[in-house]
Structure 1
């Protein structure tokens, strides 16, 4: 009887650990890419895209959203020269994949996210 109780307790503990690790995967998934001048964030709750210029250098930053199967950007958000970040909404789903691009308006390389969807 003691062995059965120990097995039951161990099984319950394993189930609790699995349930605890599975729950975060079901939550909204936000994504952020950044460089030394700013950041571009996808906020899954509400499909909002936010661009923040984090360096007062006279140049802003631009975030763009590329849709797979297209050479066109479906969203562009620019921030710079004012306080706070700029946001725009764009409804993405599971039928296409998207890639976020962040560039500094003063030149240099563009940072790109991995392809993703909801």
Structure 2
């Protein structure tokens, strides 16, 4: 009888473990995949809720910032957002999905290196 109870307890613990892992994976799939890349002159942010890309020029140096979105398998950019010379940040919407990978890049319009995100999707 003790062996039967022990087996049932082990089996029950295994079921609970599987359910906990499944629930946490499902919860992770629901969470937004927001991304931000930045340098010393500004930042480029993707907000998954609404698929909005926002570029912010954080230095009043006479140059602006340009954020670009590239789709995998293409050398062209599917979205370009620039900011500079005005108050606030500039943003645009672009619907991305799970079928392709995307990469964000951020450039200071005064020169220098471009910052890139990892490839991602929703």
1:77 is matched with 81
2:34 & 2:90 partners in 1: Cα distance? Answer: 17
In the alignment, structure 1 segments of 5+ residues that lack a partner are 1-13
Match of 1:88 among 88, 92, 101: 92
24-33 or 68-77, larger mean C-alpha shift:
24-33
Match of 2:112 among 101, 108, 114: 108
Match of 1:47 among 47, 51, 70: 51
**1:6-85 equivalences in 2 (<5 Å):** 23=27, 26-85=30-89
Count of equivalent residues: 118
1:40 & 1:54 partners in 2: Cα distance? Answer: 11
1:71 & 1:18 partners in 2: Cα distance? Answer: 39
1:18 & 1:62 partners in 2: Cα distance? Answer: 41
2:21 & 2:58 partners in 1: Cα distance? Answer: 39
In the alignment, structure 2 segments of 5+ residues that lack a partner are 1-16
1:20 & 1:66 partners in 2: Cα distance? Answer: 33
1:80 & 1:98 partners in 2: Cα distance? Answer: 24
Larger Rg: 2
TM-score scaled by length of structure 2: 0.79
Question: How far did residue 26 of structure 1 move?
Answer: 2.7
